[in-house]
Amino acid sequence: MRLAELSERSGVSAATIKYYLREGLLPPGRRITATQAEYDEEHLRRLRLVRALIQVGRVPVSSAKEVLTALRDEELGWSERLGTAVWSLPHGPAPDDADPVTASARRTADELLEHLGWSHRGGDGVAPVAPPYEMLVTAITTLARLGYPCSAADLEPYARGMERLAVDDLDLVERYAPEEQVEAAVALTVLYEPVLLGLRRLAQGEEARRRFAGQ
Amino acid sequence: MRLAELSERSGVSAATIKYYLREGLLPPGRRITATQAEYDEEHLRRLRLVRALIQVGRVPVSSAKEVLTALRDEELGWSERLGTAVWSLPHGPAPDDADPVTASARRTADELLEHLGWSHRGGDGVAPVAPPYEMLVTAITTLARLGYPCSAADLEPYARGMERLAVDDLDLVERYAPEEQVEAAVALTVLYEPVLLGLRRLAQGEEARRRFAGQ
DNA sequence: ATGATTGGATAGTTGCACTCTCCAAAGCGG
DNA sequence: CCGCTTTGGAGAGTGCAACTATCCAATCAT
């Protein structure tokens, strides 16, 4: 199919598709002549994934590129690809280690993870600290600075909850054929986030209604 | 204290504080003379909340203003203030109701919420549909379009998980004095989101490592 | 043959979140 | 009292991200 048809079938404007091609978010089409290229179903699929990551997952274009590059990287195995993709996701401002509040938050996070038996550092050697861990530290620091300190004990039920959901997440991923699993894992990681946050806000509304009925 | 001191104590540049004052995110200081104003601890506290919402919670400035306005609105009761504040939070693109996939997603969401016994529509009368519900519908639609359909049954464990966490959330809020609870609820809703997402990504990493150890 | 279409390159637009510059009034040290 | 600095407000300017519009030569459809 031509770029115009790709545009029509995806609902993404031709100009935007050209932009994504330039930025390397989509691989170039198969060149037919000097001025024309042909796109296939795989391009359509990838374009839809890009739009989903950007619009629903709020992933910046540059990070989306990294995520997609990791997905396609034939050099890496299953878990490296997934790891690289997830680490490319946005994770907010880095913690400021000069700040004593950050140091305390880091201790809280370490205590929590140790208690849970999670290894938050990458595989072997001098692996960098995982972005999700940094994200956690930043959030705990910010809460503490605002006067809402949370201890490892406060966080444990949240961690246990996420631990249970991770089992469901991986079960869901295993429904798919092995060669589809990495993409499925990324899509489910990112696109279940709004599902989770939406359900959480609804659940809070329910619980608040239950407790403070007539106020 | 003067604006300069507010800046120093919060770590926010004076120019940015002026910008927030202009945008109405911070109430004006108490005017001392025609060209000087005095700020107090309450301003400092609010400024820190603004920064936390914007930087860690990824809330746009304009939404942060709505959230803060709702928090301060003396006209409203406890739950209206909290509801208005949470509804002002970003919730992604609205679902496209012309699309049949959206209609199907909406049925899935309705089925789930009915099964759970949650009331996703506001209080009385012709209340608008809750933004978190719309957020959920958009996410389910996007997943379906990408070839990752999820049924009400798939979503139930996630909803149950969030239901349990909402209880903990509200317990945490009730630690604070009644007049502090609305702000605490907003801060915890928004700032626990990175905590939750960070823990989820870490938990997925753990679970993936457990299942696919040597790949 | 000829008018429309295609894909690539370049430049322009929009929105957001600041950031800079200016300025008159105020404070302050001698 | 007099320079010198500081203050807060207003408006314009900046940088970045994500598009969007314009051009253009090659090509395709009739």
Secondary structure (H, E, C), A142-163: HHHHCCCCCCHHHHHHHHHHHH
Statement: residue B125 has pLDDT above 50: no
Q: Residue B187 carries which side chain, given as an amino acid letter?
A: A
Asked if A68 and A187 touch (Cβ cutoff 8 Å), the reply is no
Task: Note the pLDDT of residue A125.
Answer: 46
From A105-109, B28-32, B62-66, B117-121, the region with the lowest mean pLDDT: B117-121
Statement: residue B183 has pLDDT above 90: yes
For residues B181 and B176, give the distance between their C-alpha atoms in angstroms, rounded to a whole number: 6
Mean pLDDT, chain A, rounded, equals 93
Question: Which chain A residue has the Cα nearest residue B151?
Answer: A172
Task: Note the pLDDT of residue B131.
Answer: 94
Question: Which nucleotide's C1' atom has the smallest distance to the CA of B12?
Answer: C18
Asked if A90 and B194 touch (Cβ cutoff 8 Å), the reply is no
Asked if B129 and B120 touch (Cβ cutoff 8 Å), the reply is yes
pTM of the model: 0.93
Find and give the residue nearest to D28, measured CA to C1'. A36
Asked if A102 and B164 touch (Cβ cutoff 8 Å), the reply is no
CA of B99 to C1' of C6 (A): 29
B79 closest CB neighbour out of A135, A168, A212: A212
Degrees, nearest 5: CA angle A148-B17-B55: 45
CA dihedral B144, B137, A88, B57 (to 10 degrees): 180
Number of alpha helices (DSSP H) and beta strands (DSSP E) in chain B? 9, 2
B162 closest CB neighbour out of A56, A140, A203: A203
Task: Note the pLDDT of residue A79.
Answer: 85
A196 closest CB neighbour out of B52, B89, B158: B158
Asked if B170 and A185 touch (Cβ cutoff 8 Å), the reply is no
Residue B172's region, left for phi above 0, alpha for psi from -120 to 50, else beta, is alpha
Asked if A42 and A9 touch (Cβ cutoff 8 Å), the reply is no
The closest of B51, B88, B94 to B72, measured between CA atoms, is B88
Task: Note the pLDDT of residue B79.
Answer: 85
Task: Note the pLDDT of residue B127.
Answer: 57
Number of alpha helices (DSSP H) and beta strands (DSSP E) in chain A? 9, 2
B61 touches strand D (CB under 7 A): no
Q: What is the pLDDT of residues A49-77, one digit of tens each?
A: 999 999 999 999 999 999 999 998 888 88
Q: Which two tokens stand for residue B213?
A: 């150890």
For residues A148 and B187, give the distance between their C-alpha atoms in angstroms, rounded to a whole number: 8
- The whole-angstrom distance between A1's CA and the closest CA on chain B is 19
A54 touches strand D (CB under 7 A): yes
B203 touches A at CB < 8 Å: yes
Residue with tokens 């719309």: B134
Asked if A166 and A63 touch (Cβ cutoff 8 Å), the reply is no
Coarse DSSP helix, strand, coil percentages of chain A, rounded to the nearest 5 percent = 65, 5, 30
Report the Cα A71 to chain-centroid distance in Å: 13
CA of B14 to C1' of D6 (A): 13
From A20-29, A129-138, B118-127, the region with the lowest mean pLDDT: B118-127
With contacts defined as CB-CB under 8 Å, which chain A residues touch B92?
55-56, 58, 194
**What value does the mean pLDDT take over residues B5-15?**
96
> B119–A209: do the CB atoms touch at under 8 Å?
yes
Residue with tokens 């994934």: A49
- The whole-angstrom distance between A40's CA and the closest CA on chain B is 16
CB atoms within 10 A of CB B206: 19
Statement: residue B153 has pLDDT above 80: yes
With contacts defined as CB-CB under 8 Å, which chain B residues touch A108?
none
Asked if B25 and B50 touch (Cβ cutoff 8 Å), the reply is yes
Which residues, at least 6 apart from B192, have a Cβ–Cβ distance to it below 8 Å? Answer: A139, A143, A158, B169
